[in-house]
Every structure is written in structure tokens, then in C-alpha cells.
Structure 1
Amino acid sequence: MSIHRFVQNTRLKLLSNAERKEAFDMALSTLKVCFPSQVVGNHMHNVWDACETFLVHVLAFDKAVWDWQPSLGDNAAYINMMCDCTWYLWEIGQYDEALRLLKGIEGICRDTIGLHTLEGARICVNHGSVLSTLNRYDEAGKLFEQGLRIRSELLPKDDPLLANSYMQMGNYYTAQGQVDRAVRAHKQAIEIRAKSAETPAGIMIISHFNICRSLLMGSRLDEAEAYLSKAEELEPRLDPGREVLYYRSHRLYILGNIMAARGNVKDAHAIHVESYNIRVQAGSAQYAIAASSHKIGTLLEKLGERDQAIASFRDAVSLLESVLGTAKAKSARLARTEIKLAEISSGQEAASWRARAHQHYCDAFGFEAPVEDWSQIDFDALVPPIDR
């Protein structure tokens, strides 16, 4: 790849400005077809392999854009392709890289087609989604609000993109513990999406999952289970492969949480084990598999299976440590699991896990000195609601 870039730069230096522009436009027209496009509001799990194949080429093209700053013929196409790319990076847990790219395309969008566009709103949604995963909820909320405002001014009231913004606002309210506002926002999204026969099944399922999490947080278990049943009814309409496995694993994860909230710990454990197995089979991101391992550990602890619980928590730690990079999201997740290991271990081992948890907490939030009162910290709140 380094040789390819050297040859590319050498060749570009020999071209006139007009020839260079033609080369960039031709490369963009090819790449935007090759790199899978996201249906906004849906996930990209069934096209991860293609995303991985063409990611390096998109990143190389993006670097060339910044190196040469050409006058692209279709800036909107470039911005949308980079939004597809950053969404994929978010799905696989590469948050730092996604943020780096989003910062760049926001500047290009501002300088070319303007931020008060559907592309600008999409950047807000992608940026907010990454920040929300990193527990930067205040910043994420402002971006979601900005995206909703832009779309509200540009689109009719029943447009699917508006539903996407209502859903993101609902997720933000859930993360903030504002259950009633979250439920209202998710119902707005569901109402818009239900009006169109063209709404993909996956998008409707996502909406049902999101309102389930909000209702579960508010201990409205019967309502949550009703929406979860609606999601299950839609599963036969999903494409076979990774997509159906992804949604099934999340449905079971939520169902397990509902069972646990009802006090049915044994069934909750069995359901979470099934969710974990599906995630492994589907090749889900390590963060998702680690969340399942952590959840299984908490349920095993409640069942009195201390040694098995420790093993499950250790598996979660190993999975998290295998994630490339040093993202703050990784440190936050490690801190949550390590504090559980400290609580159920004994002696020097407990002290070691506690020290690791405290250090990872400081790493996640940029603290240089230990926190004065660790008992005030809700370690479960360090991860997004989707992984709790």
C-alpha cells in the first residue's frame, strides 16, 4: 500500500489541474459504487466483508483528497461515502478513526455544499452516535438536536430520515435516564416508519429494540415485552446471514434483561448464553461479545456460581483487551468488568482488579489522579444502554 501511494503521488504531480480533477472524480465515481452504501437508520452487518475489502481504498482516497485538495465534481457523493465509511467504523468499534474522519468531512461539507443540508445532518447523526458510545452524551445530544433541526426544516413530516433523528434523540434521552421523553421520541419514529410499506424490517426492529430499552429502564416490563414480540414477528423478513443473527442476538439480550428484571435469573442466564453464542457465530464486534460475557458473569454471580462468574468476567476482559487501539470506550468497558472482578474476588487478587479498574476509569475520563470517593461511581453507566 505504501508503494501504491508513492506511485500515486508521483503520478499526480505530473498531471495538470484539469487532469488531476478528472482523476479524482473518476476514482470517486468508482469507489462510491464499490463501498457499500448504508440505508440510513439501518445497520451494515451483512456487508461488513465488502466494507473491509474496500476500506483501505476509501481511506487512501480520503488521504489523497487532503493532500491535494482537489475541486471534486460531486462533493455530496464524497461526503455520503465517507459517512458510510464512518458508520461502518462505528459498528466495528473503531471510534477514534471514525471521529478523525468525521472531523475532516465536516470541514469539507461546511466549505462546499454547506452544513444545512441532508449530508450535514447525516454527519451530525454519525458524529453523535460515536460520541454517545464514548459516554460524551452532552455533546452527542447537541449533535442529534442539530441533525433533527436541519432535517425538520428540509423534509416533510413523515420522511424516514426524520424518524431516524427522532430515534437518535430517543437513544440520547435513554442514556440520560429521561425515560418518558425517550419513549415519546421512539414512538414518533415508529409512527413514521410504520406508515411506509417500504420501511426495511431491520429498521422497524431497531425502533422496537430502542423503545424496549427505554421502557426497561423505566421498569415498564410488560410494555417492553410487547414491543419485543413485535420485533420477533419481523425477523422472518430479514435477509439470512449476519443480519438476522445480529438482530436475534440483540432481541435475546433484551429479553434476558427483562427476565432478570422480573427476578427470573435462571431463565435470564440461559437466554443470555444463547445471545452470546449467536454473537460468536455471527462474528460480532468484540464489544458486543464482551458485553454478553459480562452480563453472563453478573447472572452467574446471582446464581451463586462464583467461579464460573469470575471465568466469564475474565473472558470479557480478554475480549476487550483484544480490541485494537486505546479508545476511551475500551477503558470504560474494562473498568466496569474489572470492578466486578474486584467485588467477587478476594485478597490480593481483588486489590489488583480494583487498581486496574480505577486506572482504566481514569484513562477513560482523562483523570490524572485517583478519584476521592470511588463508591459514588456507577460503573454500569460507563457503557451505553445497548450493552447494559
Structure 2
Amino acid sequence: MEVNMSIDGDQFIDVEKFWFVHCSLVRYSGIIRTEFLAADYANYANGPHGNLMTRPYALILVLLLLVGAAVCSCSRYQPFKLNGPLVSSATTMVTAWYFPKNPLTDPTLDDSKLSKEIKWGFRIFTDTPHEAPQFSPSKVSCNNCHLNGGQRERSLPLVGVAGMFPEYNRRSGRLYSLGDRIVDCFVRSENAAGATEAGDGEALPSTTSKEVLAVSAYLTWLARGSEVGKNPAWRGQNVIASSNLIPIEKLDARKGEALFMEHCTNCHGEDGQGVAIGDKKAGPLWGPDSWNDGAGAARVYTLAGIIRYSMPYLNPGSLTDEEAQQLAAFINSKPRPSYPFKQQDYRTEKLPVDSVYYTRR
């Protein structure tokens, strides 16, 4: 779609379609830099041409944002208040690449082997396909679900969670160590299991794989100061109340598709594969590069909880419980890689009703 339109002789930009308005101050790789992200055009929709903004005005805005970022880079500027140790779930994608605890800039970390492991674990977490390509045939990063490096409220936060392991895993029917849980994420969400279908069984991660140990070091670092064995108050808050769950058979993927086209395509694209915003891109929601059908996000209610409290990123929490479930039903009606070991899951526990990719037994 053409975004430049001539009205009364001036060049205009459709703010709804153009990606520049929000400026994120990002402490990444030791420096602050600007990220121009998807536009929240509501503040500009009341102008004389609706969602259209003159090109000169847009350029002036960009320059002002750049100047503001330069000023902020000279101080310990924090653009918003935290909710405890976490980024508030009410903040928009302007905070997408802000990390309350960032090992790449933390002055308490030195050049020791442990510090280097923590830093690498953080890089794997936030850029999994590039930092751990052997175990990430998908284009999904840990950070796509656990936003802000696992430090965002109601987005599967992981601060303090390392101290909860070992814990019982219902899917496998046994105790899981932290390493076991990380392996599961690689095998399912990053689809490392896809390597077995390609005949490369050695590509499967184990609890002693260096990438798994590095992520474990990062998550353990995030748990410093937390009480071992005490469940963090923010854990499990991205769940839709059971009283509001809609029976799976009553969810309508067509309604979910309509909601997707209305609320999600700016960042995820109509094909669900993600839209590039600067050097960042939302992970694919279906298809060969997405999570496989054995992942947690392949469960409708689990995905609905993520959507309900984390999306849409320009106005998180604005969807209703029903809308989130309809969206999840649509996304999980789409094809995705097959997890080859599903028959080993839920042997001692009842198969969840929202595990739509599993054969009922």
C-alpha cells in the first residue's frame, strides 16, 4: 500500500501505516540508541487530515526524538516507573528493548568466566536464532514470549523463577531442573526437535549443552536476591480466569482471523511472519519458522493468556478475554512444525483440553 499521498499539494504520511512515531531508549550492547517502532497513531488522528501527517512535520518529529535521545544518553534516564523489578504491563512497545537488569551494562559483572556466561545467556535469550542457531531452527527468540528479557509484568516474567527449581512438570510427569526446562524451550518453542526430522539427532540440546548452561546462568543471575523456593508474586499472572474460558469447540477461528487483521497485522503482518521494524522483527506466529505443535504456545488457553496481557503491543491489555481466546484459536489453527515426541507427553497427567495439536486419547 502506498503511504505517501498528495493532499492540497503537500506530501502526507499515513501514520497508521508508517513506522516511526515511538522512540525507544534502549540500553543495549552498552550504549543507548533509538529505535523507531510501530506507530500509535491515536494522538494524531484528530488532525485536519485524520491519520495523515505532513512529511515535514514527520521529519521534525524524528529530529526531535533523536535530539531527545541524545540528551537522555548523557544521564541515567529511565523513561518509566517499574512495577517492583519488572517493566509494567501497561507500557507500550516504546519500552520493548528496555531491560531493568541488563548484564551487558551491569557494572557489577566483570570479565570472569561466570560473568561472560551470564552475558552470553542474555544474548541467547534476546536473539536466540543468531546466538544459538544450532538449537533454534525456528526464527523465534525466548524474548518473543518472555518480553523485556523475562522482566516484563504479565508476560511470562522469569525474575526469581530459577529458585523454584526443581519443580514438577505435568507434561513430562517428573521433576524438572532449570536446565530441563530450558532444554524443553529449545526443543519446542525454538523447534530444535525439527533437527531430528532432518536426520540430525545430535542437534538436540541437553542440560550440559553450553547454550543451555549460559541461559541458566542468566536466569540464575535474574534470581539474585530472591528467596529460594518462594514462588514470585508475579508468576502465573498471564492466565485467563477459568470462569472466563470458552469451550474449545465454541471458539471460532474465523472470528479470530478478523480480530487478527484488525489488531495484529501492523507488527505481525497479514501472513503472521512478522514485520521488520528497524533491525527488529516480531517472531513468526505460524509456518515452518514458528514454534512447533508441542510448545506451550501451541495450547489455545496458554497462548490466549499471553495475548490478553501482552498484546497488542501498542495498547497491551486492551483485548477482552474472549477476543484473546478467539485470536489464539485462529493462530493455533494454522500449520506449524510437528513435535516428533508428542506421544511421550502427558503419560501420567490428563491431556489438557486446549492441546489442539495432540491426538485425543
Q: TM-score range by the shorter chain?
A: under 0.3
Structure with larger Rg: 1
TM-score, structure 2 normalization: 0.28
Structure having the higher helix fraction is: 1
TM-score (norm 1): 0.26
Structure number with the bigger relative contact order (C-alpha 8 A, sep ≥ 6) is 2
Give the structure with the larger strand fraction: 2
